């Protein structure tokens, strides 16, 4: 099976009621739609003022895990997600 992992972000904050979303998605060959493996949602109050919010993704093929780090938050996130076999 060939699979790709990708992270995506929402557009950003458009107002006080907006949230910021990050997604970990699985894209498989010959499958028309990606599967969302994990979603993180943050409110404007969670973000460090005047700082960029960014994320990194590292995939370990041996353990079939994806580690996502989300920075620029008052409480940064680092989470390892097991991926389907």
DSSP per-residue string spanning 10-58: -----STT--EEEEEEEEETT-SS-EEEEEEEE-GGGBPTT---EEEEE
As a whole number of Å, the end-to-end CA separation of the chain is: 9
pLDDT 10s digits, 35-61? 999 999 999 999 998 888 999 999 999
Q: For residue 82, what is the enclosing H or E element? A: strand 77-82
For the cut 50, the answer to whether the pLDDT of residue 1 exceeds it is no
Q: What pLDDT is recorded for position 10? A: 41
Domain residue limits, the chain: 3-82
- Top pLDDT among 13 and 58 is at 58
Distance CA 52, CA 70 (A): 11
């Amino acid at each position: 099976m060939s699979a790709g992992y990708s992270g995506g972000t929402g557009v950003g904050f458009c107002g006080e009621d907006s949230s910021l979303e990050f997604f970990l998605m699985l894209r498989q060959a010959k499958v028309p739609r990606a599967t969302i493996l994990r979603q993180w949602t943050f409110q404007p109050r969670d973000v460090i003022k005047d700082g960029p919010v960014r994320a990194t993704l590292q995939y370990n093929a041996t353990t079939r895990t994806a580690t996502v780090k989300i920075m620029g938050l008052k409480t940064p996130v680092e989470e390892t997600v097991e991926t389907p076999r």
